[in-house]
Structure 1
Amino acid sequence: MISVKNLTKEYKKFKAVDNISLAAKPGEITILLGPNGAGKSTTIKSIAGLLKFEGEITIWEYPNKTVDAKKIFGYIPETPALYELLTPWEHAEFIAKAYKLDEDWKEKIKAIFERLEIYDKKDKYVRELSKGMTQKLSISLALLTEPKAVLFDEPLVGLDPKAINEVLKIFEELKRDGRSVLVSTHIIDTINEVWDRAYILNKGRITSEVTKARLEGRDLKTMFFELTEGAEE
């Protein structure tokens, strides 16, 4: 699971995140919601190990910045972090060598590329790919290592409806496999059918934790706006 306990991050005297705790449990799709400036990006980057912070973050009980944690963690950033002069296939090969994957990685990535309809672009330079294609590539590379915990930051932005539907199916498959799935998004309507647990973040604090089972027919989007009313959208 992804566990965040008492996370605090200050920039000089400004607290971007103020003592928050959350958990993305195995076999659940957990979403993180919040208006601009709520602290979502700081939280995501802290979990991914990109920022110094106060508190404790673990990935299946391993401290998030350790090699053991990184071996079982997949991260899809909002802006794909790719090498413009490498091809999608070369990216996959790099990941396979870095993680010392078995030789069957080629069949695995081929299947993922075909599913997300980028296999025909496998030999093009990344700089030649569209925003949607690079997003699909970023998702593909994170899934290649078969992580036990996956963090998606705005994964649906730039994708066409067919690709969005496929990514939602991937979320549910990861859930069925008992993996931890944490999704930071502002596209509430699109993800409304698949989420299990939601954390609403506002002004650096968790204002609400809710499960779909306990929502009792209330609309998550309406609840979100009620709790963040007056915040910057």
Structure 2
Amino acid sequence: MATKKRPPSAPGPSSDALTDAGLQHAILMRAIPVLRHDVAGPLSVMRMGTMLLKRRLAKGDMTPEQAVERVEQIEEQLGEIAHHIRRLRLWDLQINDRHKVRALVDEAIELARPALMVSGTEMEPLPADLPGWDDDTQVPHTLLYVVLGAIYHLAEQSSPVPAQITVAPAGPFSVRVQARGASTATRLMDADTAARSAGLAQPPALDLAALLQLAQPLGVRVQASGSEVTVTLPGG
């Protein structure tokens, strides 16, 4: 006796939550290579340092002062690794940490720059004396997701590839992300080619609909016009 197929369930709150989680994961997957590199780099240096320390101690050709200096260097590298591990808290949606807007924007630029450089797009760090964000204003850490989303959106959707992406204040609670010009640089490696050579699946480009959907459950307003995206937190 043939069984009757059940009709697919209508989208509901659970489906929406999975969609939101998928978009947040898409942002994290773009940033994770930089996070991994920042932890692995000092760890490799520290491992080499401990190997050299062990060999020299075994040979007895190191003074106590030299040994103390080497241990202090290892402690500095451990501190750097701990710092990068603490950065991972910015990706935990279940915490209530709040940060200065500038700190989150600095983090977004640091995470996005390597991939943009490979694609031929320049992105400069914020100048030290940039006004516009109140140092006393503390905002949810989830702003990082949406600012990164705006950067990736402009980098991936713009044609031709932008020469530069800039980030600047648009108010005490707002961030303006702009794509400028057309890149004339030769790409070091096409993103799809790089992903395939590493055996990785390249995530789909982040279109405007995805960016808006990413921002909505995080309580962030996004306004987009051509090559410019403005991200605003509640209260702005």
TM-score normalised by the chain length of structure 1:
0.25
Q: Which has the higher contact order (CA 8 A, sep 6+)?
A: 1
TM-score norm. by structure 2 comes to 0.25
Q: Which one has a larger percent strand, Structure 1 or Structure 2?
A: 1
Higher fraction of helix: 2
Q: Choose 1 or 2 for highest CA Rg.
A: 2
